[in-house]
Structures are given as C-alpha cells and as structure tokens.
Amino acid sequence: MANTGAQSGSREITGEATAANLACDGLPADYPKEVTWLSDRRYFLLAVIVYGVSTIYSLFLWRKGFRVHDRANYFLFFIGFGLQMKSMLMRGLTLHQCPLNNLYEAVAFVDATIVGTCLVIGLWPRLRYVGAFAAPVVFAIGVFALMPGLDTPGAKPQFNLDLVSLHAALTLLSYGAFGLSSVAAAMYLTQEHDLKFHKLRAVFSLMPPMDRLEKIINRTLWAGFILLTTGLAFIPLLLKGRPEPRLTDDPKVIWSGLVWALYLVLLIMHGRFHQSGRRFAWGAVGTFAFVLLTFWGINLLSPAHRF
C-alpha cells in the first residue's frame, strides 16, 4: 500500500512538473512530443541560403567576364535544388497531396521550376552560365517566399488531384518558363553590352552566341505561353456548376488575362513583325518583372485564389 501511494504521488508530481514546464514555455497541452528543427520551411531556408551564395559567386563571374566554365555555380544550384525538393516532399507527405495551398508554396514551386530547368540546361557547358543570371532571380523569389504571412495554413488542404491541381501546376510552370526567358534575355543584353563597350571581354566570353540566346528566349516564351493558355483554359470547367461570382469579379483572373495578352503581343511582334534583338530581350525582362512585382498583390486581392 505504501509503495502504491508513493508511486501515485510520484506520478502526480511528474504530471505537475510537465504541466508547469509547458505553461512556462507557452506551449499548448497537445504540442507534439518530438520537435525536429529541420522542418520543411527550414530546408527551404537552407536552399535560399545556398542560392544567396550562388548569387554572390555570380557577381564575381560577371566581373571576370565569364571566361571560365561555371561548374561551381552549377554545383551550388544542385545542392539548393536538392534541399528544396526535400522541403517540398516533406510538405507534400504532410498534406498527402501536391503542396500548392498558399502563396508560399506557389512561389516555392516557381522557384524550383526555374532551378530545375537551369540544371537541365546546364548539362551543356556553354549554356551553364544561365545559372549565373538566374541566381539573383531565384534568390529574390526565395526571400520573398519566406516573408511572414505567406505560409498561412487553412482549415484543410485546398487542392486535390483534380482539375484544380492541374490548373495550378500548369500556371505556375508557365511563370517558371517566363522567368527562364527573362534570364536568357539578361544574358543577351549582357553580350550586346560587351560587344559595344568591352569588345575584348566579349571575344573571350564563354557564353552562348547572341543568335542562340535569342532562340532560347523565343522558345521558352512559347513554352510558357502554351502552359499558361492551357492552365487558363481550365477556369470555365472549374467554375462549372459552382455558385461563384463572374470571372470579371476576380482580380486574379483579370490579371492573368493581362499577362497572357502581354506575352501574346510580345510573341506576335517577334514572329510577324520581326522585332528581335535588344527590344525583344527587354520585352521579356520587363514583362516578367511586371509578373514578379504584381503577383503577390493580386493574390491578396483575389477572393478565390490562394496562390
């Protein structure tokens, strides 16, 4: 009896101590027992740090004039992409579906699309410098994704493996393709500037020729435009049978139509009116800059979109 009373008293003391510790720490009673520092957001943070190192290294490449093959930057992109895939995989396993539920996950998806495509393009040595121009864009997008308030979990996941997921994936992939076209356009403008003002550096540069860069700009723009068109084509099907407002009542739909029209005009000007070279490159850079600067604000204004 005495031993039983002692054990009962010990359990009460232990329970009180545990409750006191939780109260001091400000944690709820149902807080998980095992807490891992390397969460999915922490893995993404590590990836963004790697992209930041890649950006700093790219600055030195720009000063040197791209006279050596860019193996170090490619390796940094490979590490960052691995960390980002780990982050997305952990988030997807937690939600048991594709992680495209809020603005943070959408921006991270675009970031991963750009990095993954740069790794594929970088398999060709003369195209490996795409990473040097993409690094600042990828780093800036990653820093934006980590801003407070973007990763807001809902009551339940919003996307299932249906037309909504397909619509989201195609649209975000199109933004990744447009980002790559702006990177290639920045390379084109750099080559043009070197030919005008630093002819010796242009001669010894290992970047692709300007005509090849123009083809890359055109093809990535067409790829992004086709993906965006396909993604937007699902909107009438998604709204079919739903008691929701008209398409014109959603700012995100209007904005998406404006982006689609801007890229259509850019492609028509290049294909039909032979607007090539410097103006075409500046058009690709400027249009994607518009997408980056307005994407988050439009999502905040939209009543129906979380990405």
Q: What is the pLDDT of residues 251-266, one digit of tens each?
A: 888 899 999 999 999 9
Share of the chain above pLDDT 90, in %: 23
Contacts of 153 (CB under 8 A, 6+ apart): 101, 102
Higher pLDDT, residue 46 or 124: 46
When pLDDT is averaged across residues 100-105 and rounded to a whole number, the result is 80
Greatest alpha-carbon pair distance for the chain in Å reads 97
The two structure tokens encoding residue 100? 């495209």
Region of poorest pLDDT, from 83-92, 93-102, 176-185, 288-297 = 93-102
pLDDT in tens, 273-302: 777 788 999 999 999 999 988 987 887 777
Q: Is the pLDDT of residue 239 over 80?
A: no
- Which of 192, 220, 61 shows the shortest CA–CA distance to 132? 61
When pLDDT is averaged across residues 210-231 and rounded to a whole number, the result is 89
Separation between Cα atoms, residue 176 and residue 174, nearest integer Å: 5
pLDDT band at 139 (very low <50, low <70, confident <90, very high): very high
- Other C-beta atoms closer than 10 Å to the C-beta of 65 total 18
State residue 30's pLDDT score: 38
State residue 69's pLDDT score: 58
| Mean pLDDT of the chain, nearest integer | 77
When pLDDT is averaged across residues 242-254 and rounded to a whole number, the result is 69
Q: Is the pLDDT of residue 25 over 60?
A: no
When pLDDT is averaged across residues 7-17 and rounded to a whole number, the result is 46
- For the whole model, what pTM was predicted? 0.67
String of DSSP letters for the chain:
-HHHHHHHHHHHHHHHHHHHHHHHHT--TT--S---SS-HHHHHHHHHHHHHHHHHHHHHHHHHTS-S--HHHHHHHHHHHHHHHHHHHHHHHHHTS-S-SSHHHHHHHHHHHHHHHHHHHTTSGGGTTHHHHHHHHHHHHHHHHTSTTS----SS----TTHHHHHHHHHHHHHHHHHHHHHHHHHHHHHHHHHHH-HHHHHH--SPPHHHHHHHHHHHHHHHHHHHHHHHHTHHHHHTT-----GGG-HHHHHHHHHHHHHHHHHHHHHTS---THHHHHHHHHHHHHHHHHHHHHHHH-SS---
Contacts of 295 (CB under 8 A, 6+ apart): 107, 175
Q: Is the pLDDT of residue 144 over 80?
A: yes
Degrees to nearest 5, angle at CA 188 with 183 and 192: 150
* Domains of the chain by residue range: 36-237+244-301
Higher pLDDT, residue 193 or 265: 265
Q: Is the pLDDT of residue 2 over 50?
A: no
Q: Is the pLDDT of residue 155 over 60?
A: no
